Every structure is written in structure tokens, then in C-alpha cells.
Structure 1
Amino acid sequence: MPYDHSIVKQKPQLLDQQRRQFLKLSALGIAGLGLASLPISAETNTTAAPAKVVPGLQLYTLRDLMSQSVADTLKLVSGVGYTQLEFAGYFDQTPKQIKHIMDNEGLNAPSGHVPLEVMQQNLDLVIEQAQIMGHKFIVLPYLTDEQRKTIDQYKALAAFLNKAGEKIQAAGMQLTYHNHDFEFFKLSGEVPYDVLLNETETRLVQMELDLYWVVKAGLNPLDLFARDPGRFPLWHVKDMDKAGGFADVGKGVIDFKPIFAKANQAGLKHAFVERDQTDNRIETIRQGFSALSTLLA
């Protein structure tokens, strides 16, 4: 489904019930959420080895709460136990403002999603903002219908990504591409994802593998790891229900254990819980943290 990953503005409207729930949670504070049994961010920071992959959260999952209050949402996320974030827009905050909030909550953001048109319009600004935020990865998250009609568009995209990736790498960061399912369906007899893998340089363009969308497309992530080992440093971890829809991690039908057993082959550095749509955001991120912690143990 389409992502709205504006780097400047992203203001989805909260339903009245959602607004009341969020304000109630903010008033109750961390203890009122029943999270006392989960590790706080400071404890996680002091016990995790630097090279260890720890549970991260893609903030698209909480986009309506982020539009209401970035500070309160990040406090909530920290209280669940997350220390690593992936941003999907800055919600009218400057990178400096958000970085200050993250520092106060013991959070960091290894990566951020940036739409293609934003990269094309002002890559220098994207890099500048990413450096302030402390991003190590800049991720292209989604292609609109207009951006992916033909295989030639994917070939042109690959050429752009090579150039952008070189500039991003020179700034000390890595460009990555996030998939959905449409990249695995043939256009003019070619698989778009194959075009992106084959026509971009591995050192310049790596992949953020969304495990749900790979499975949704009928593929096995293990085959991708075997084909291009080390090229998948970022993962989105979301589960699938029996009908093929979204589910909280560990509550669906995807068998994550064999996938995580090949984390080293994939080159995994950061794993982010994500659920595109959920009726219970708090339970989704709590369950995601618990399940992903087990998978990464």
C-alpha cells in the first residue's frame, strides 16, 4: 500500500477515539501502560554489545500518534524497551529537535525513509538531515504507481540509485531500497527486483528486506540471501494472518526462525518491527518487541 513518507510534513488525522486513547496513555505515563516488566531503554543500552542486533521499530506503525506528538510517542516507544528507530517522516519537527528528544529518551535512529521524489529534488538536504539525525542508512521506501509502470523505469531508477548511493556513501552512509510485493511481478518479461539487484552496485545500493511482502509475493527470503549474501542489512519484521493480511509479529503464520537463522548470511545489522495497519498500536509494538527480542536472542 502507498506510503506517505514526507520528509517535511506528515499529518494524518486522528479519529476522536484514537486521540482520547493517546492522551489517556500520555497522562498515565509509562507505569500506567503495564510495561514495568519490560526493560527500559537505559538498561538495554548498558547490556547490549555494540555489534548485537537489537529490536528496532519502524515509526510508520505509529504515524498517527507521531502526528499528534512526536515527544510523547518517542517516550512511549522508549518505555516499551526499544532503543533503535527507523523514521518515516519528521512530522513538522526539525532533525535537531527530534535528535534532542531521542537523546533524552536513550534512543537512536540508524535509518530513515525518504521518498524518491525528495531524493531527486534535493539529495544534499536529505544527506544533511540524515547526518543530524544520526542515520547510517537512507532508505527508498516505496514507488508510486506512476514511478513503476515499465521495466525501463526500474532500469532508470537503478542508474539513479547508483549515483545517489555514491554520494550518500561519500557522506558516510548507505543507500538502501525497501521492497513491497510488486517488485517481484514481471514487467515485459523481467522481474523488477532482479533489475535492481543486477543493475545497481552492491557497495552503493543495498536492500531493506520487508519479510512480509516477500512472503506475500510467494518467495522465500532464504533464496534471496543465498543469491546475494550480505546485501540485506535491514529487515522489516511483520507477520501475516491466515487470510494474507497483517498480523503482530509472532501471532501470524510466517515461520521467522529459519529466516533469522540466516541473519549472518543476509548481512543483517538492524531489524525493525512494522505493521502497516493495526487497531491496537500499543499491543502491536509490545508484542513486536517481545517476539523480535526472542528471535534475536
Structure 2
Amino acid sequence: MTYPIAYQLYSSRNFPPLAAQLPVLKAMGYDAIEPWLPAYEADPALFRRQLDDAGLKCLGFHMPLAGLAGEPQRYIEIAQTLGATYLIPPYVTAEEREPTIAYWRALGEKLARGAEAAAPHGLQVAWHNHDFEFIALDDGSRPIDHIFAAGGPAVKFEIDCGWIVRAGADPAAELDRFADRIVAIQTKDTAPIGTRQDDGWTATGDGIIDWQALVPLFRKTAADHIVTEHDNPSDWQAFASRSINHLKALGL
């Protein structure tokens, strides 16, 4: 089985205009893009036309948790305009986070309410992780487990393997643990800890993650697509090209 491969447009936010990147990504072999706010916000219909013109799809998009909680209908309509299936809140700021079980359970409950609103439209809500969800609280429990326990089975998961490694956790174990919940896999790669160039991130296949060992675990999840991402590449085209070529060489 091969997967559609999407490119997280956040990776090249520092190299505008974004619309000009789309045909380049298509020529590299990408099937889709995963936009982040505000890439699509000003005019979702225009953004969709730009995707269509480039021959790319949008399978899911990143959006604020506050938007899912406070104005879900707006983002449901954006999903419909973009042709996306997955609404993906990806982050809460350090200032918002509280080191308590109650905080993380409440976050999961917000996701569950968003998933309930999205479901009648054939849409799903997925959480995207960073490192902080895998760092234990004082009682030894982990935020990620509280998020999903409170969210219930309707809350899905876009797993970011690079951030899991940065947290000191094992992506293989998390792919196995959350296999039924994972709908998208981000193949973010990290250079050896302490690397300063490009904030320590690198193209998929150029870092310390053994992707070949993870591929069999990918296939056991419910994921229906792969996403490449790099938080701060100095050369976005080199990153994008190297990453998709490595994934295709792995048979993905």
C-alpha cells in the first residue's frame, strides 16, 4: 500500500508567496498540502482554486483549538470549501498549559465536542502533538493519555514522530499504542540533539529516526496519508524533495 503524501505548508511560511510553491510541490510528487492558519483564512475559496489549479488536494488542515471550541461551524465550512476531512488543532501555548490532569482532560473534552459537531458533515477532529504531551506530570501520567481518554474514540490523532523523539519518547511505541486512533503520520525528522542548524530539524531520512523500522508500524495504524514537515528549513525545496524521495524509496 502506498499513501497519499502531503506537505505541511507551515514548513515554507518564510518563503512567500505560498501559491507559487504549489506547482513546485506537485512536480516533486506531492499529492496534497496541509495548510496552517492563516494560509487559508483570508479567502478559503481562492485557496481551494489555487490547490485545484496545481492539482493538489487538502486532506486536513491545522487550526486553533479556540476556533474548534468557539466557532466550530466556521471551520467546518472551511473544511468543506477546501475539500478536507480532518480538522487538526496542533498546539496550546506554554502560557495556556497547566500541569494538571484536569487541564488535559478538559482539552480532550473540547476536542470531543468539536468531533461531535464535525461528524454529521463527514468530518473528523484530530489532535497533533508536540513534545509537551509526552512529558510526564508530577504523578507520572502523561498529558497525551489524558487527552485521548477524555476525548473518547471520536478524537483522532495526527502523530508527529519528530516531536515524540524530542520528548524522549519512542515513536514505535506510540504508533503501536495509538494505532486505531492515528489518521495521519507526520514524518518530521530531527538531527542529533544539540544540532543548531535549522533548529535541529532535518529532512525525512537525514536525521536520527529509523524510518525503515517504523514503516511496518505505519501500516498497522488507521492512517490514510503521510505528511512531511520541517519547522524551520533554510532551503524548503531541498527539504521537500529529499523527504518525499526518501518516503517513496521506503515504499510509501
Calculate the TM-score normalised by the size of structure 1.
0.78
Shift of 1:171: 1.4
Match of 2:149 in 1: 198
Matches within 5 A, 1:146-161: 146-151=95-100, 152-161=102-111
Q: Provide, for residues 30-60 of structure 1, a one-character-per-residue CA deviation record: whole Å limited to 9, x for no partner.
A: xxxxxxxxxxxxxxxxxxxxx7412211111
Q: Is structure 2 residue 32 aligned with structure 1 residue 104?
A: no
Q: Is structure 2 residue 25 aligned with structure 1 residue 77?
A: yes
Q: Distance in 2 between matches of 1:82 and 1:93?
A: 24
Q: Is structure 2 residue 250 aligned with structure 1 residue 295?
A: yes
Find the structure with the greater CA-based Rg.
1
Q: Distance in 1 between matches of 2:99 and 2:168?
A: 21
Q: Retained in 2: the 8 A contact 1:85–1:107? A: yes
Match of 1:277 in 2: 232
Q: Retained in 1: the 8 A contact 2:87–2:125? A: yes
Match of 2:126 in 1: 176
Matches within 5 A, 1:140-289: 140-151=89-100, 152-189=102-139, 190-202=141-153, 204-243=154-193, 245-289=200-244
Q: Does 90-99 or 122-131 show the bigger shift?
A: 90-99
Task: Identify if the C-alpha distance between structure 1 residues 73 and 251 changes in structure 2 by more than 3 Å, giving closer, same or farther.
Answer: same
Q: Distance in 2 between matches of 1:84 and 1:268?
A: 15
Aligned to 2:220, the other structure's residue is in SS state helix
Identical amino acids, percent of aligned pairs: 27
Shift of 1:221: 2.1
Q: Distance in 1 between matches of 2:31 and 2:176?
A: 30
Match of 2:80 in 1: 131
Aligned to 1:208, the other structure's residue is in SS state strand
Look up the equivalent residue of 1:133 and give its one-letter code. L
Shift of 1:243: 2.8
Look up the equivalent residue of 1:162 and give its one-letter code. A
Shift of 1:282: 1.2
Q: Distance in 2 between matches of 1:176 and 1:82?
A: 22
Aligned to 2:6, the other structure's residue is in SS state strand
Q: Distance in 1 between matches of 2:205 and 2:93?
A: 30
Q: Retained in 2: the 8 A contact 1:210–1:236? A: yes
Shift of 1:293: 1.4
Moved runs in structure 1, 4+ residues, more than 4 A?
none
Count of residue correspondences: 244
Q: Is structure 2 residue 62 aligned with structure 1 residue 113?
A: yes
Gaps of 5+ in 1: 1-50
Q: Distance in 2 between matches of 1:253 and 1:110?
A: 28
Look up the equivalent residue of 1:271 and give its one-letter code. I
Task: Identify if the C-alpha distance between structure 1 residues 147 and 180 changes in structure 2 by more than 3 Å, giving closer, same or farther.
Answer: same
Aligned to 2:180, the other structure's residue is in SS state coil
Q: Distance in 2 between matches of 1:52 and 1:247?
A: 23
Q: Distance in 2 between matches of 1:79 and 1:226?
A: 33
Q: Distance in 2 between matches of 1:143 and 1:296?
A: 34
Aligned to 2:250, the other structure's residue is in SS state helix
Q: Distance in 1 between matches of 2:158 and 2:213?
A: 18
Calculate the TM-score normalised by the size of structure 2.
0.91
Q: Retained in 2: the 8 A contact 1:61–1:274? A: yes
Look up the equivalent residue of 2:109 and give its one-letter code. A
Aligned to 2:159, the other structure's residue is in SS state strand
Q: Retained in 2: the 8 A contact 1:230–1:267? A: yes
Look up the equivalent residue of 1:274 and give its one-letter code. E
Q: Does 180-189 or 106-115 show the bigger shift?
A: 180-189
Q: Retained in 1: the 8 A contact 2:45–2:81? A: yes
Q: Distance in 1 between matches of 2:42 and 2:24?
A: 18
Q: Distance in 1 between matches of 2:193 and 2:131?
A: 16
Q: Distance in 1 between matches of 2:180 and 2:220?
A: 6
Matches within 5 A, 1:59-78: 59-65=9-15, 68-78=16-26
Task: Identify if the C-alpha distance between structure 1 residues 174 and 296 changes in structure 2 by more than 3 Å, giving closer, same or farther.
Answer: farther
